[in-house]
Chains A and B, each alone.
Chain A
Amino acid sequence: MSKPDDRGDPARILAGALGPNGPELSCEECFAQLDRYVELELAGADAEGSVPGMRAHLGGCPACDEDHASLLTFLGTE
């Protein structure tokens, strides 16, 4: 989300402070579903349809978003 050099960006401030609009997973649910979600993404399947609320959560939680990016990137290198 906010990095030291872009903290003053108005769009980032509003997105960060107001977060996703609508249902989203919790961090615990996100972690529980992350492996399945990423494999579905890599398979080109409908990951968001299978795990509703995951995309919204990744948009609102920078830490889970980084975990998601890590797993996606790591599996991509395997």
Chain B
Amino acid sequence: MAMPAEIPRAEPGFEPADASSRELHERLNTAGPDREAAVVELHALLLKAARFEVNRRRDSLPHLRGGDHEDLAQQSADDALLAVLGKLDQFRGESRFTTWAYKFALLEAGVKVRRRAWQGREVPLEDEAWVVLADARRAVAHEAETRDLIGALGEEIERSLSAHQRAVLVAVTLNGIPIDVLAERLGSSRGALYKTLHDARRKLRGALTQRGFDLSDTTDRRGDE
């Protein structure tokens, strides 16, 4: 994947770490009763973040009962606690320690909610994606350039991609399967599948550019601001 050569450090004058957050990190790195108290404190913070995330996504879990949401939050906080304690030496002090820790709880909760929302649901087949593409093509029937581009995109998905790249790209971008759900079903990881998706996209861009299409207008808005 094309990466920036080096990720710069925090900007001069920007001081993200605050005293209480730093103190919690220091207490977690000690031994004895103070560490135990710090672990309890950390778990409470992680649970707060996990509950926030589960509640935020409550609409995607209409089949769950009230206690199930709390169970998900507790499991997320427990897993996040293990992750944070196992990676304490990776905290570089570039943000508040609590912000660094919260992201683990939010990740755990987000992944668990997405997977629970898809539990028991079948992943749509590739065939459905061709229907999606055909619908999109019809929707822009009066815009010749976009219509032709979508048609060519479908051709290159079939022609230029490996079977694995095609399966991942179609599932995530055309059929709307959350990448964490797909990773679980394929026994893979978000990072590995995204790398596959990235390579597939690069192949498609290359093939379509070679066919003379201008792709400058197709990037997600956030990507080219």
B135 contacts the other chain (Cβ, under 8 Å)? yes
B78-119 residues at the A interface, CB under 8 angstroms: 94-96, 99-100, 102-103, 106-107, 110-111, 114
CB distance from A78 to the nearest CB of B (A): 9
Chain A residues whose C-beta falls within 8 Å of the C-beta of B49 in the assembled complex? 74
B105-163 residues at the A interface, CB under 8 angstroms: 106-107, 110-111, 114, 132-133, 135-137, 139-140, 146, 149-150, 153, 157
- List residues of chain A with CB under 8 Å of any chain B CB: 1-4, 7-11, 13-29, 31, 33-36, 38-40, 43, 45-46, 50-53, 55-56, 58-67, 70-71, 73-75, 77
Contact B99 A67 (CB under 8 A): no
Chain B residues whose C-beta falls within 8 Å of the C-beta of A77 in the assembled complex? 52
Contact B102 A14 (CB under 8 A): no
Contact B150 A10 (CB under 8 A): yes
Contact B136 A13 (CB under 8 A): yes
Q: A21 with B205: in contact, given A4-B176, A10-B140, A74-B106 (CB under 8 Å)?
A: yes
Identify A39's interface contact among B16, B139, B153, CB under 8 A: B16
- Per the bound structure, the CA–CA distance linking A28 and B195 in Å amounts to 11
Identify A40's interface contact among B14, B136, B191, CB under 8 A: B14
Could you write out 27 A-B pairs with CB less than 8 Å apart?
A2-B173, A10-B140, A10-B146, A16-B174, A17-B173, A17-B204, A18-B201, A19-B223, A20-B220, A21-B219, A21-B224, A23-B4, A26-B195, A27-B194, A31-B107, A35-B94, A39-B96, A39-B99, A46-B11, A50-B11, A53-B4, A55-B222, A59-B224, A60-B198, A63-B111, A63-B178, A67-B103
B7 contacts the other chain (Cβ, under 8 Å)? yes
Contact A13 B174 (CB under 8 A): yes
Identify B190's interface contact among A2, A14, A27, CB under 8 A: A27
Identify A13's interface contact among B94, B106, B150, B201, CB under 8 A: B150
